[in-house]
A and B are shown apart, each in its own frame.
Chain A
Amino acid sequence: MANNTKIMVENLIFYYGNDKALEDVSMLIQENKITALIGPSGCGKSTFLRVLNRMNDLIPGTKLKGKVLIDGYDIYSNTTDVVELRKKVGMVFQKSNPFPKSIFDNVAYGPRAHGIRDKARLTNIVEESLEKAAIWDEVKDKLKQSAMELSGGQQQRLCIARALAINPEIILMDEPASALDPISTAKIEELIRVLKEKYTIVIVTHNMQQAARVSDYTGFFLLGELIEFSDTNKIFTSPQDSRTEDYITGRFG
């Protein structure tokens, strides 16, 4: 399992103020695979995801112990450039959050911020990203329109396109389909499966069927602890821990 480890988390403990949100979590996340994190609300799966691109830095009073290595580098060392880290580790949020700008400007936002000014190159990146996010055909004629006018599912795919435009290596997805209808959800799931050829994907989901459908590995969180982590098949067919079994069979959740 350790052959193509992209992210290595070792004995991670995480606090919001005095509340412990994650308890001694260790996990190896494989390159070009989809890793799903499941568990009931408040179990720490979103917190764990936001540790991976240091999004939790924005919340005052958080504290972290343990190690998080991406490609062998400790992302919490003093020399880590958070901006560089986030270029490498893109993120898609639970609630689609396009900027109140045009569709084009939304996707071009990241590349522009990183110094790409050339119009032709930007146009290229935007088109490519929208294609990868499987939304190009729907928006190609209205790139100048406000992103706010798109439907919820389209907005979420636009956000994925926006994340892809900065050419990350890892994409973190925080319940990307939880606010969407079944058809939009199916589109997003299909997209995720395609994307794994180029990217390492970590996805938090409430929806166990979704985890079973899309992921290669699954981690089950409960009360801040990683109860079980292994092949998705194994988790769903022969869970080792009784709590995992209770959860996936719907005994609680």
Chain B
Amino acid sequence: MISRKGKDLLIQNLFLFFASISILVLFLIMAFLFKEGLPIIEVVSPLRFLFGKSWYPTYEPPEFGILPLIMGSVAVTLGAITIAIPLGVATAIYLSEVANLRVKELLKPVIELLAGVPSVVYGFFGLVVVAPWIQDLFDLPTGLTALTASIMLGIMASPTVISISEDALSSVPISYREASLALGTTKWHTAISVTVPAALSGICTACILGMARAIEETMTVLMVAGGAAIIPTTLLQPVRPMTANIIAEMGEAVHGSEHFHALFAIAVVLFFITLALNLLADYISHRFKETGSATL
């Protein structure tokens, strides 16, 4: 028989063990990423890698400048959040402040389903529906553009924005709403002047996580962004975001070659971008926690 204290300790350590595994795995992935990505420094300087304007990995000599890829990612991500934030926040406000229970119970699972659709399905939809439409609308040589990718990513990121914003809005105490309504204000006025400001840190977090969702999406952008490694000047040009570039070239890069290391280095860059976004989201959501909410 183990003592009660011993049992307690055993269980505690068991859970600690499982928790440690996930952290360990994360560190292993990181270590592997750096091990395979860092050797590229021997070929190009970090600055030339990040800000070089040409990506010709198979030329002789090769060029490993990933600025066009970064700009491709930036273009589709900015396009995507321009769609996802208004759409997502407005939907969240509707769900939490306006919709009656029945509408809410119908809409929430549908939105969650939207998040569960495989990205290849979105890509396919973008390919056969959105791209031809964009091509016709703007009279372009190809419909596979940054805009097409933005639209698809915008739709894909909005469930993230909606569900986190909605959580933030729902956790605003009902007493705030009552106080506002009791002062003779409309439901709408109450939502805009009290509930949304009180939930603002949560809504910001939602938007940043939505952005992270857009920047890390791979399959869809591979299918609909067009794949041209050029720095875009408008959203109507084809682009090659970092994620799409990695997956498109990984198969043909010789294991251990400069090209191979360069692709891992792109993954390292991507890793830091998403890490920064997550830290930012974390910072914003914790910032106002102590006083309950922001003073606006």
**A interface residues, Cβ below 8 angstroms from B:** 53, 55, 58, 60, 83-88, 90-91, 93, 95, 97-102, 105, 109-110, 113-114, 146, 148, 159, 162-163, 166
**B interface residues, Cβ below 8 angstroms from A:** 100-101, 173, 175-186, 189, 193-194, 197-198, 291-296
Q: How many A-B residue pairs have CB under 8 A?
A: 79
Looking at the complex, which one of A83, A100, A110 makes contact with B295 (CB distance below 8 Å)? A100
Minimal Cβ-Cβ distance residue in A for B184: A87
Q: Is the CB of A162 within 8 A of B181?
A: no
Q: Is the CB of A97 within 8 A of B181?
A: no
Collect the chain A residues with CB atoms within 8 Å of residue B175's CB. 93, 95, 97
Collect the chain B residues with CB atoms within 8 Å of residue A113's CB. 180, 183-185, 189, 193
Q: Is the CB of B178 within 8 A of A55?
A: yes
**Bound Cα distance from A114 to B184, whole angstroms:** 8
Contacts A113-B189, A113-B193, A146-B295 given: A99-B183 contact, CB under 8 Å? no
Q: Is the CB of A86 within 8 A of B101?
A: no
**Bound Cα distance from A109 to B175, whole angstroms:** 15
Collect the chain B residues with CB atoms within 8 Å of residue A102's CB. 295
Contacts A60-B101, A95-B175 given: A148-B183 contact, CB under 8 Å? no
Q: Is the CB of B295 within 8 A of A84?
A: no
Q: Is the CB of A58 within 8 A of B176?
A: no
Looking at the complex, which one of A58, A60, A163 makes contact with B181 (CB distance below 8 Å)? A58
CB distance from A240 to the nearest CB of B (A): 34
Q: Is the CB of A97 within 8 A of B176?
A: yes
Collect the chain B residues with CB atoms within 8 Å of residue A100's CB. 176, 197-198, 291-296
Q: Is the CB of A99 within 8 A of B179?
A: yes
**Bound Cα distance from A100 to B172, whole angstroms:** 11
**Bound Cα distance from A166 to B186, whole angstroms:** 14
Looking at the complex, which one of B173, B177, B183, B292 makes contact with A109 (CB distance below 8 Å)? B183
Q: Is the CB of B178 within 8 A of A93?
A: yes
Minimal Cβ-Cβ distance residue in B for A106: B179
Sorted nearest first, the 3 A-B pairs with minimum C-beta distance are: A87-B184, A97-B175, A86-B184
Q: Is the CB of B184 within 8 A of A166?
A: yes
Q: Is the CB of A58 within 8 A of B178?
A: yes
Collect the chain B residues with CB atoms within 8 Å of residue A105's CB. 296
Minimal Cβ-Cβ distance residue in A for B100: A60
Can you list 16 pairs linking A and B with CB atoms under 8 Å apart?
A60-B100, A60-B101, A83-B184, A86-B182, A86-B183, A88-B184, A93-B179, A95-B175, A97-B176, A99-B198, A100-B294, A102-B295, A113-B183, A113-B193, A159-B179, A162-B183
Q: Is the CB of B194 within 8 A of A99?
A: yes
CB distance from B199 to the nearest CB of A (A): 10
Collect the chain B residues with CB atoms within 8 Å of residue A85's CB. 184
